[in-house]
Structure 1
Amino acid sequence: MRQVVILAGGLGTRLRARLGDLPKPMIPICGRPLLEHQVELARRHGFEEVTLFVCYRPDLIEKELGDGSRLGVRIRYVLEREPLGTAGALLAGWEHLEESFVVMYGDTLVNLDLTRLREAHGASGADGTLVLHPNNHPFDSDLVECGEGGWVTAFHNRPHPAGRWFQNLVNAGLYVIRREALAPFRPWLGARVPGQMLDFGKDLFPGMLRSGGRLLGYNTPEYIKDIGTPERYDKVCAEVASGVVARSSLADPAPAVFLDRDGTLNREADGLRSIDALELLPGAAEGVQRLNQAGLRVVVVTNQPVVAKGQVTEGELREIHNKLESLLGLEHAFVDRIYHCPHHPEKGFPGERPELKIDCDCRKPRPGMLLRAARELNLDLGRSWMVGDTTVDVAAARAAGVKPVLVRTGHGGRDGRFPVQPDFTFDTLAEAARFIVEQIPGAPSTPGAPNTP
């Protein structure tokens, strides 16, 4: 795979005061056009061909970027003669598409390890791979549901029904697509009525799923944000200047904050079995939001022996975690991943699941979940932290080589399971997060506005 397709036809009506006569993808980011940042990202990851689908003022784009030789790639231009929507444009430009290709939107700033993405797509055999990420306003976002192995199972467009809890995963607007998977949709061009458009998120991907297509969800904490409004544009520029963007790629090891679940994020419930019993602790969302705004990866690691004991199914646990993510989202906070250990070493519980009654490496205080997260998210454990309410959490932190922090919520360290001491102790997760952020050079020390569009 060597082709990146960039949909660069945007007019930029809401940014007209900043753009003047420029097309939206040419807006300057730290003195260089946004499109140039995208082309350079493609080149860094070995993509040789960049195909730009252009519409408004293509002359200005071609004058700036030329044939791409200055940037180390070959650029081709495909003129959209009328707006057809994000997916419709590709169908109209079918002959310019290679066997498989990456799709970017021309109004997003991206710092993502495209090599990892390309390898994940190739290994999966998917028809399409959708880059997904959590955000801090899932309640008014179109959400994507993934099942075992990360395969997309459903799309949930807003508004969401009351009383339903969905996974906080949002379509980030970056894809890898197999060209032949688009073939069944080509008749749309001949059948469309004037003005009709075909969108990836609302039309094409749900259609692929309904017809048996295999779509992989690629969940990543990396940086992908659109600049479609003056407020978002200013936010992106500030995050470039502060180093948040540069630190976000999975190509570079990054620090994380690991969080225990029960007693740290939500009230301790002695083996939480019911979704109705899940309730956030005061200050929990504030603490997570503070970590989000500092650009730290936030990872939940939780022992859930209720699964091995047969008291909660994997599906019920997934619903509980969907609610946890949704409650955090209502307060503009999000976690990057939730890892759980379903095992339990002791046998003899009515209804238990024998296959899960094992002495595993992932059950805390063993560090398996933290080490798995480090592999999957390229985490620098030496610069990472673990916040929990028990000596089990402290011991797991020690075993993984991260800094242990105890909070006085939940068990407050009174479980007495292990003879270990934390490096620091705070009353709440909010206080712990404030302290951790203060240790990160250049990170904001106070919460601000929501930071994920």
Structure 2
Amino acid sequence: MKVVIMAGGKGTRITSVTKKFAVQYPELYNEAPDIPKPLLPIDGIPVLEREICSLREQGFDKIIITVGYLSSIIMDYFGDGTCVSRATGKPFGVSISYFNEAIPLGNAGALYKIYDDLKDGADEDFLLLTADSVFDVNIRRFVEYHKKKGGWATLFTHPNSHPFDSSVVVADMDCRVIEWLAKEDKRPVYFKNRINAGLHILNRKVLDIAVKNGTIVPELIGTSNSQGSVVKVDLDRQLLKPLCGDKNSGAIFCYDSPEYVKDMGTPERFEQVLCDFKVGMIKRKNLQYKQRAFFLDRDGTINKYKGLIRSVDQIELIDGVAEAVKRINASGSLCIIITNQPVVARGEVSDKLLGEIHDKLETELGRAGAYIDALYYCPHHPDRGFTGEISSLKINCNCRKPKIGLVVKAAKDYNIDLTSSWFIGDSRNDVLCGKNAGTKTVLLIGSDTDSNQHDGNKENGQFGQDLTCNSLIEAVEQIL
């Protein structure tokens, strides 16, 4: 599979930083007074070089770079990919070609200009990356997922700390994208924190369909229209967004991953990237490495205990929970909710309504700059006799806590080291689930938990847990 890296942006918001590093590392850039954003160094090695090395190490060595602003500096630095890095003294070990946008064509216009070069043998899929972000991801895993789904496009999606100024992706339970909400689009009051990270796998058919529909005329790209503006192509709004939910064309899927992807477009964000690199977070979050997770119960741990939750209005975050989740996020650990939801089997809450309840939970966390990486729920309930119950869900399953099916699934999905992870909850079942799975455990006994109403005080609240705390924030502070 060929790789296209978009590196033509001007980066006006970060000019003060690019000029500073051009002066600091004159030997890297042949004493150029300014450098393009993709050549900003992290520990002396340019961001784009780190990206290329990661691709090479994972077997992706055929690269096309689209360049524009200060293009000669990028082309001089990397050459055709066979030369030696000025930063490391090692060969790049890849094959690089370039498309130079003399006139900016938008973030997808160049794809039509290099259309014939995107195919690699019989493979019409290609990897489309941006040089505006710093990332370290298991690309092979991403590609395997794309091939398994068999769609025309797969978007790398993740939760982030600022979902209200990001493009939100709405998908069904099979991760098929049904709606794309850009920043300017009206969005629902509550939504899942699922953000397009700017890494894509596309099939050339995505380019073809826009031409077939008449929305893109390749010959006109780069020319002036009747208003005197240059005809450009926007990847999100003109190519991908129109395909969302379209049953007549190839599907777009999202690939949810907690791996490190961060926009470095402002001095503040680049400074955060440098800090994350220093503590090893960028590399550590790559899913080829074992992850540490905080498994959290839902009711009485994150939201106030109100018995069985049957409506969106009943969700109310416990004070301090958002701060606790933010600290988990900042530590580089995964934050995963594991919850029993027998209301589904009892026919009292549909999967759709449960999704809306969880959307509110994610939205309220997002308002505070916090996010969860994943949520798993058990819809089963072994007891029968409820009006409207769903008989197929009235079973003794392996996923209802204290059984460990959901924890095992999460561990497989995200390569989690259970022995270094924690399970935090407010009931006996939470503690036993964690112990059965091999994690360390915390029992919460505060006023907002269900401990007093449920079984927290039985056996004097001693179920073999490693810690007993009053709240999630107290537990996270002690652990971290």
TM-score range, shorter chain: over 0.9
Distance in 2, Cα, partners of 1:174 & 1:67: 23
Q: Does 1:123 align with 2:148?
A: yes
Distance in 1, Cα, partners of 2:313 & 2:358: 12
Which of 349, 362, 365 is equivalent to 2:399?
362
Name the residue aligned to 1:184: 209
Q: Deviations over 1:255-277 (max 9, x none)?
A: 10000000000011211001011
Spell out the pairing of 1:301-450 with structure 2 (5 A cutoff): 301-409=338-446, 410-412=449-451, 415=455, 420-437=463-480
Segments of 5+ residues of structure 2 without an aligned counterpart are: 20-33, 83-90
Spell out the pairing of 1:50-449 with structure 2 (5 A cutoff): 50-69=63-82, 70-98=91-119, 99-158=124-183, 161=186, 164-186=189-211, 187-190=216-219, 193=225, 194-209=229-244, 210=246, 212-409=249-446, 410-412=449-451, 415=455, 420-437=463-480
Distance in 2, Cα, partners of 1:329 & 1:188: 40
Which of 45, 58, 64 is equivalent to 2:58?
45
Distance in 1, Cα, partners of 2:298 & 2:231: 47
> 2:230 aligns to what SS in structure 1?
coil
Number of residue pairs the alignment of both structures matches? 436
Distance in 2, Cα, partners of 1:178 & 1:43: 21
Q: Deviations over 1:268-306 (max 9, x none)?
A: 121100101110011111110110011110000000000
Q: Deviations over 1:154-205 (max 9, x none)?
A: 1122356586211110000000011122112244334563334322223311
Which of 28, 33, 41 is equivalent to 1:28?
41
> 2:272 aligns to what SS in structure 1?
helix
Distance in 2, Cα, partners of 1:340 & 1:407: 20
Select the structure with the greater relative contact order (CA < 8 A; seq sep ≥ 6): 1
Distance in 2, Cα, partners of 1:181 & 1:229: 31
The two structures have a TM-score, normalised by structure 1, of: 0.93
> 1:369 aligns to what SS in structure 2?
helix
> 1:279 aligns to what SS in structure 2?
coil
Q: Deviations over 1:414-438 (max 9, x none)?
A: 515787221101111111111122x
Larger radius of gyration: 2
CA distance 1:80–1:162, shift in 2 (3 Å): closer
Distance in 1, Cα, partners of 2:188 & 2:174: 27
Distance in 2, Cα, partners of 1:411 & 1:421: 18
CA distance 1:97–1:78, shift in 2 (3 Å): same
Distance in 1, Cα, partners of 2:187 & 2:277: 37
Segments of 5+ residues of structure 1 without an aligned counterpart are: 438-453
Q: Does 1:16 align with 2:8?
A: no
> Which 10-residue stretch deviates more, 404-413 or 370-379?
404-413
Name the residue aligned to 2:85: none
Q: Deviations over 1:215-265 (max 9, x none)?
A: 110000000111111111111011111111111100111110000000000
CA contact (8 A) 2:220 2:231 kept: no
> 1:40 aligns to what SS in structure 2?
helix
Distance in 2, Cα, partners of 1:139 & 1:14: 20
What is the aligned-residue identity percentage? 39
Deviation at 1:116, TM superposition (A): 0.2
CA contact (8 A) 1:4 1:103 kept: yes
Report the residue type matching 1:15 in the other structure.
I
Report the residue type matching 1:420 in the other structure.
F
CA contact (8 A) 2:320 2:472 kept: yes
Structure 1 runs of 4+ off > 6 angstroms? none
Report the residue type matching 1:224 in the other structure.
V
CA contact (8 A) 2:134 2:261 kept: yes
Name the residue aligned to 1:7: 6
> 1:386 aligns to what SS in structure 2?
strand
> 2:376 aligns to what SS in structure 1?
strand
Distance in 1, Cα, partners of 2:361 & 2:393: 24
Distance in 1, Cα, partners of 2:198 & 2:479: 32
Distance in 2, Cα, partners of 1:434 & 1:375: 27
Report the residue type matching 1:84 in the other structure.
L
> 1:86 aligns to what SS in structure 2?
coil
Deviation at 1:144, TM superposition (A): 0.4
Distance in 2, Cα, partners of 1:22 & 1:37: 16
Distance in 2, Cα, partners of 1:142 & 1:131: 12
Report the residue type matching 1:142 in the other structure.
S
CA contact (8 A) 1:391 1:421 kept: no
Report the residue type matching 1:411 in the other structure.
D
CA contact (8 A) 2:10 2:37 kept: yes
> Which 10-residue stretch deviates more, 185-194 or 234-243?
185-194
CA contact (8 A) 1:298 1:337 kept: yes
